[in-house]
């Protein structure tokens, strides 16, 4: 059973860089059938797609964040990562990692539990 687990600091200062990792267990991150995604959710609000990565050379980002966001994959450790630069209070949210299934027409079929990130001095 594939599981995803987010990790990273819960507090980031304004203008600094938010870095999160997502560890994939129970399956290989190198499978060609999946994209690895990040989604965030501010408290009490809806879901916002941040981006996804297939390999280090194949990533798609939300244009609203594109200049500040990057993702990477480490196949040796089965981990993918999110990096968001120049954060502001508007980046405060629960960040979820998720698996996007090609076979399920882009649906996000497995999610991590989420990790809360606050941007505050």
Cα separation, 35 vs 53, whole angstroms:
6
Question: Is 26 near another protein (CB under 8 A)?
Answer: no
Q: Name which of 6, 60, 54 is nearest 31 in CA terms.
A: 54
Interacting span for another protein (CB under 8 A) from 15-23, 67-75, 76-84, 100-108: 100-108
Question: Is 49 near another protein (CB under 8 A)?
Answer: yes
Question: Is 47 near another protein (CB under 8 A)?
Answer: yes
Cβ closer to another protein: 13 or 104? Answer: 104
* DSSP-assigned beta bridge partners for residue 38: 51, 97
Q: What DSSP letter does each residue of 53-119 carry, written as one string?
A: EEETTEEEE-TTTTTTEEEEEETTTTEEEEEE-S--GGG-EEEEEEEEETTTTTEEEEE---EEEEE
- Residue 4's Cα: distance from chain center in Å? 11
Question: Is 32 near another protein (CB under 8 A)?
Answer: no
Interacting span for another protein (CB under 8 A) from 7-15, 16-24, 71-79, 112-120: 112-120
Interacting span for another protein (CB under 8 A) from 7-15, 22-30, 71-79, 99-107: 99-107
Cβ closer to another protein: 16 or 110? Answer: 110
- Token output for 88: 């502001």
Site of interaction with another protein (CB under 8 A): 46-49, 52, 60-64, 96, 98, 100-101, 104-109, 111-114
């Amino acid at each position: 059973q594939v599981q995803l687990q987010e990790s990273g600091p819960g507090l980031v200062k304004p203008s600094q860089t938010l870095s999160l990792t997502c560890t994939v267990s129970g399956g290989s991150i190198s499978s060609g059938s999946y994209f690895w995604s990040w989604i965030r959710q501010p408290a009490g609000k809806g879901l916002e797609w941040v981006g996804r990565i297939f390999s280090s050379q194949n990533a798609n980002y939300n244009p609203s964040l594109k200049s500040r966001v990057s993702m990477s994959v480490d196949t040796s450790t089965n981990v993918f990562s999110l990096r968001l630069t120049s954060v502001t209070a508007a980046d405060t949210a629960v960040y979820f990692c998720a698996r996007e299934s090609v076979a399920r027409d882009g649906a996000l079929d497995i999610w991590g539990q989420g990790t809360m990130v606050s941007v505050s001095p």
